[in-house]
Amino acid sequence: MTDHTFTRRSTLAKFGGLVAAAAGGRALLTDDAAGGNLAVESGAVSCVLTPELTEGPYYIAGEKLRRDIREGHKGTLLSLRLRVLNASTCKPIKGAAVDIWHADAAGDYSGFGDAAGSRTFLRGIQKTDATGLAVFTTIYPGWYQGRTVHIHVKVHVGGSVVHTGQLFFPDTLTDTVYKASPYAARGLRSVRNADDSIFVNGGKRGLLALKKSGAGYVGSISMGVHK
Tens-digit pLDDT profile for residues 73-82: 999 999 999 9
> CA-CA distance, 133 to 219, in Å (whole number)?
13
3-class SS of residue 184: helix
Alpha-helix residue ranges (DSSP H) falling in the chain: 33-42, 171-177
What is residue 46's predicted lDDT score, i.e. its pLDDT? 56
**Dihedral pair phi/psi, residue 184, rounded to 5°:** -60, -30
Parse the chain into domains and list their residue ranges. 23-219
What is residue 35's predicted lDDT score, i.e. its pLDDT? 39
What beta strand segments (E) does the chain contain? 77-86, 97-101, 123-127, 133-139, 150-157, 160-168, 209-213, 216-225
Q: Which of 53, 68, 65, 98 is nearest to 222 (CA)?
A: 98
Residues (pLDDT < 50) of the chain are 1-45
Q: Enter the pTM of the model.
A: 0.82
Judge whether 158 and 165 are in contact, CB under 8 Å: no
What order of strands is seen across the sheet that includes strand 160-168? Answer: 123-127, 97-101, 150-157, 160-168
Per CATH, domain 23-219 is 3.30.360.10: no
What is residue 154's predicted lDDT score, i.e. its pLDDT? 97
Long-range CB pairs of 110-117 (<8 Å, 24+ gap) are 110/60, 111/58, 111/60, 112/57, 112/58
What is residue 227's predicted lDDT score, i.e. its pLDDT? 85
The CA-atom distances, in angstroms, between 162 and each of 126, 159, 209 are 15, 9, 22
Long-range CB pairs of 185-192 (<8 Å, 24+ gap) are 186/105, 186/106, 186/107, 186/142, 186/143, 189/143, 189/148, 189/149, 190/143, 190/145, 190/146, 191/143, 191/146, 191/147, 191/148, 192/148
Neighbours of 61 (CB within 10 A): 10
Which pLDDT tens digit goes with each residue over 96-117?
A: 999 999 999 999 999 999 999 9
